[in-house]
Amino acid sequence: MFTQIVVAVDQSDHAERAILAACNLARVYDASLHLVHAAHAAQDAVAVGADVYVAFPSDVDDAEDQAVMTAAAATAQAQGVMPASQRVGQGGAADLVIAVAAEVGADLIVVGRRGLGGFGSMMLGSTSLRISHLATCAVLTVK
């Protein structure tokens, strides 16, 4: 049923459960597992008015993002699944996950219901919702 499974990782509790669910499915279906993490730049803000702040990205911490991926791969390996690929990329998490899913021919994307998106995701819509709208394959959202 599933041969290529992509899972989004970000060190949130929901993403951790998504990794576990994806590993379980990968074992059951003997599927390849692909881990994806969108690096997010730290946000700096500058005051431009009394109550107006503008956020802009500052330097990306490659070591921190690589640590997220290393932890996700360790979780998968502890579940008996060796990731077929690991991708840390820039940009929007949903767009990166969709791009990797297309690249590997995924037939399932597993994503946590809530991640580390915070206020921005409340205003703009969650990553999991965007993935479910853009995906051309099945999407499992894990709580």
pLDDT tens for each residue of 13-64 = 999 999 999 999 999 999 999 999 998 655 444 445 555 544 445 455 588 8
pLDDT (0 to 100) of residue 62 = 81
Six-digit token pair at 30?
Answer: 């003997």
The Cβ of residue 107 has, within 10 Å, a number of other Cβ atoms equal to: 17
Looking at per-residue pLDDT, the higher value among 113 and 114 belongs to 113
Segment among 1-5, 14-18, 122-126 with least mean pLDDT? 122-126
Q: What are phi and psi of 37, to 5 degrees?
A: -135, 125
Residue 17's H or E segment, with its range, is: helix 13-29
Beta strands in the chain (DSSP E): 4-8, 32-38, 43-47, 53-57, 85-89, 108-112, 138-142
The reported pTM is 0.81
Strands 32-38, 4-8: pairing is parallel
Three-state secondary-structure class, residue 6: strand
pLDDT (0 to 100) of residue 143 = 86
